[in-house]
């Protein structure tokens, strides 16, 4: 449906609108971060990110804007017990104050607002590349760890995936997670 794979948004129309107007720029698309960007974010993805955002004026008589959006996708994490890949759906929201400060730099910058106690996005040109922001918002919402399933049996001490080969479990692998078929043998050894 969508051909675009970036997050370039042209804000020229809203920049031209009068302060206080309720014009807005509504955009959505897919974003396919390059390998380099993904490595920098320490994120693996299954498919592109889908995003949507709305930019509108804050309603005051100044030149401030608000961007309100979502970014969603499927991250791939290694199961913390068995290390198999686990797809994890992530759906993140964001809201930022934006301020136009004309410059030659096409990048947006997250800067601290001296007046308010919050960060705001400065943009220098009418066409804004939201990709770095979307990637960052997404990466922050990716959980640190994942489980392939609640009862994942993990790896044996020899590195065998016990979900696939439960028969490879030894008492040492089993721990307290499940009753071991070798529990009886352990008792015998203790009685020796």
Chain residues binding Zn ion by CB under 5 A are 79, 81-82, 148, 152
Please give the Cα distance from 113 to 121 (Å, whole number).
9
Between 82 and 160, CB nearer to Zn ion: 82
Residue 91: closest CA among 141, 47, 144, 26: 141
Between 85 and 119, CB nearer to Zn ion: 85
Return phi, psi of residue 162, to 5°: -80, -10
Are the C-beta atoms of 121 and 69 separated by less than 8 Å?
A: no
- Least distance to Zn ion from the beta carbon of 77, Å? 10
- Least distance to Zn ion from the beta carbon of 152, Å? 3
- Least distance to Zn ion from the beta carbon of 89, Å? 17
Between 80 and 99, CB nearer to Zn ion: 80
Please give the Cα distance from 189 to 166 (Å, whole number).
22
Cα angle 139, 143, 146 (rounded to 5 degrees) comes to 135
Q: Which residues contact 93 (CB under 8 A, 6 or more apart)?
A: 69, 70
Q: With the C-alpha atoms ordered 126, 120, 72, 142, is the resulting torsion angle positive or negative?
A: positive
The encoded tokens of residue 171 equal: 């008492």
- Least distance to Zn ion from the beta carbon of 81, Å? 5
Between 131 and 148, CB nearer to Zn ion: 148
Please give the Cα distance from 49 to 76 (Å, whole number).
13
Between 108 and 146, CB nearer to Zn ion: 146
Please give the Cα distance from 56 to 42 (Å, whole number).
32
Between 69 and 154, CB nearer to Zn ion: 154
- Least distance to Zn ion from the beta carbon of 185, Å? 26
- Least distance to Zn ion from the beta carbon of 155, Å? 9
């Amino acid at each position: 449906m969508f051909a675009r794979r970036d997050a370039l948004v042209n804000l020229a129309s809203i920049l031209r609108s009068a302060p206080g107007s309720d014009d807005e720029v509504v955009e959505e698309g897919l974003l396919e971060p390059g390998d380099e960007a993904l490595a920098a974010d320490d994120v693996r993805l299954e498919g592109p990110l889908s995003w949507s955002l709305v930019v509108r004026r804050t309603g005051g008589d100044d030149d401030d804007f608000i961007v309100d959006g979502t970014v969603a996708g499927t991250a791939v994490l290694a199961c913390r017990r068995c290390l198999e890949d686990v797809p994890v759906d992530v759906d993140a929201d964001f809201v930022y104050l934006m301020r136009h400060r004309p410059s030659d730099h096409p990048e947006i910058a997250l800067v601290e607002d001296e007046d308010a106690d919050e960060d705001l996005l400065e943009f220098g040109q009418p066409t804004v590349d939201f990709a770095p922001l979307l990637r960052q918002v997404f990466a922050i919402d990716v959980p640190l760890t994942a489980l392939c399933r609640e009862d994942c049996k993990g790896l044996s001490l020899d590195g065998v995936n016990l979900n696939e080969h439960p028969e490879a479990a030894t008492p040492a692998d089993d721990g307290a997670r499940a009753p071991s078929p070798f529990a009886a043998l352990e008792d015998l050894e203790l009685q020796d």
